[in-house]
């Protein structure tokens, strides 16, 4: 369900009405659809508080921000298809790389967080089985020894009782018996 935002009109200082602006996160574009499909999309969009923009020309597919475009390809002429292709090629130019780079960075950060969480859980699982050496874990996960040590410190911070055996040079999970010693 789309969240209504209060965007201010810079000319008046007052908020725009919901139907006075289009944004990438609350707009669906449609182009060349049959009347019954058009009506169905509009009904569903109204229930979800999403705007529908009916593109009158092919350039609207590029110019109007939207998170989805529903297009009847049979309604696109050869000339319009060529124009659309040309406009999409412009998006591959260096001027648009900044936005792609930002999106790629966000995706990479999310992927790194997922990898770290799974690595920490795997370390906890290994600790439950017995003592583990940081070098072994680092080699297994293809990260540095320091990264494994940081992950173990995170486990300690969230309340996992972890000890270090100086003789074996390995970390282990403290049990109730070991805590009493």
132 close to 173: Cβ distance less than 8 angstroms: no
pLDDT for res 2: 43
Domains and CATH numbers, the chain: 19-92 (no CATH), 113-180 (1.10.10.10)
CA-closest candidate to residue 173, choices 119, 121, 140, 129: 129
pLDDT value at 7 more than 80: no
The mean pLDDT of 155-170, rounded to a whole number, is 91
Distances (CA, A) of 145 to 105, 134, 135, 140: 25, 6, 6, 11
pLDDT 10s digits, 91-130 = 666 655 555 666 777 788 888 888 999 999 999 999 999 9
pLDDT 10s digits, 47-80 = 888 899 999 898 888 888 888 899 998 998 999 8
Q: What is the pTM of this model?
A: 0.45
The mean pLDDT of 83-88, rounded to a whole number, is 83
């Amino acid at each position: 369900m789309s969240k209504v935002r209060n965007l201010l009109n810079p000319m008046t200082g007052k908020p725009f009405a919901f139907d006075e602006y289009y944004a990438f996160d609350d707009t669906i574009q449609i182009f060349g659809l049959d009347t019954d499909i058009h009506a169905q999309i509009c009904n569903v969009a109204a229930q979800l508080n999403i705007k529908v923009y009916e593109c009158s020309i092919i350039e609207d597919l590029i110019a109007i921000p939207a998170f989805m475009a529903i297009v009847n390809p049979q309604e696109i002429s050869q000339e319009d298809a060529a124009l659309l292709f040309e406009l999409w090629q412009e998006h591959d130019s260096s001027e648009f790389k900044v936005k792609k780079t930002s999106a790629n960075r966000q995706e990479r950060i999310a992927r790194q967080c997922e990898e770290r969480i799974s690595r920490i859980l795997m370390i906890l699982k290994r600790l439950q089985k017995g003592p583990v050496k940081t070098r072994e874990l680092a080699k297994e996960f293809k990260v540095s020894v320091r990264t494994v040590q940081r992950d173990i410190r995170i486990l300690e911070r969230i309340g996992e009782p972890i000890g270090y055996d100086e003789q074996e040079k390995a970390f282990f999970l403290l049990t109730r018996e070991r805590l009493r010693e």
